[in-house]
Each structure stands twice: as C-alpha cells, then as structure tokens.
Amino acid sequence: MKKLIFVLLIPIFLIGCGVNAKELDSFAEDYNQSARKYDATELVPDEFGEIEEEDGEKWRELFNSKEHTIEALYDGNNVKGYYINVKSDTNSIDKTGKGYNAVLTLADTLGLDIDKLEDGMQTAFNESFHDYEDGEHSIRISVINVTSASMSITVEKK
C-alpha cells in the first residue's frame, strides 16, 4: 500500500515542479530579451539554484555575482515575486554597472514604470527605504549606505 501511494505521489510532485520550471523558464526568456536592450547579464535556467526555505520564507537564486543577486520569491509552490540586491564597493550605485542594468531589465520584464522605479530608488537613497505600487505589483526598495552601498528591491504581485 505504501508503495502504491508513493508511486501515485511521484507524478503529482513532478507536475508541481514542472509548473515552476516552466514559469521560471518563461520569465528567463523574457528577462533575457530585455537584458539585450539594457546590456545586462542573461539568466541561464540550468544554473538556477534549488528552492530554499527559512522561517517560512521560500526563494530560489536565479543569478549571483559580485555586483548583484536575483532571486525568485515563492508563496507555496508559486512564484510571488522577485528580489534583486545590487552591491557596490563605493557609497553609490553606478548607473552604468551590471547591477543597475539588471534592475532596469527586471523592471522592464515585469512591465514596471522605469521612471517611477528610478524616482523610488533616489528616494530610497535619501531616506533608506521607499515603498510604492505599480500596476499589479508592490515594490519595496531599501538602501544601506555606509562605506559601501547595497540596494535591495523586492517586487511582489499584489
């Protein structure tokens, strides 16, 4: 009986994983089209990390470099948004750097108003954080700016 239940659950598990994979593959395809426009590094789905979980939060690393990290955020098994963290060795974020270009690429991929996002980033640099809504997304920007700068942007579906 246990073997039968296990055999029946395998297809359900695989179907659930396949939906996530297809959604992220589609996101990566759209992101990579925008990446060409903004001269950002493209995402490689075969290099995506495993889904991680801590304190009830789930995420999956899609890209990681010295300049920036991109993660998919999960609600259960569904992608609920994206997180990007841009790092700098100086106390500002270079508007011509790969991290900044990745922010613009992510915004373009998700259909965000880029001018509104850039205004929000400037506000966050002045006030340490800024939250706003853009269409069907809630955007949260936070900045740590001491001897080096780190800007984190979370974009979640409402």
The domain locations on the chain are 2-157
> What is the reported pLDDT for 3?
41
> What is the reported pLDDT for 35?
97
pTM (predicted TM-score): 0.85
Tokens of 126: 């002045």
Q: What is the pLDDT of residues 137-152, one digit of tens each?
A: 999 999 998 778 899 9
Q: Dmax of the chain from CA atoms?
A: 62
- Chain-centroid distance, C-alpha 60: 9
> What is the reported pLDDT for 149?
86
CB 90 within 8 A of CB 114: no
Q: How far apart, in Å, do the first and last CA atoms of the chain sit?
A: 42
> What is the reported pLDDT for 6?
35
- Chain-centroid distance, C-alpha 150: 15
Kind and range of the H or E element at 54?
Answer: strand 51-54
Residues of the chain with pLDDT under 70: 1-20, 91
- Chain-centroid distance, C-alpha 122: 20
> What is the reported pLDDT for 20?
66
Q: What is the pLDDT of residues 85-98, one digit of tens each?
A: 999 877 677 788 89
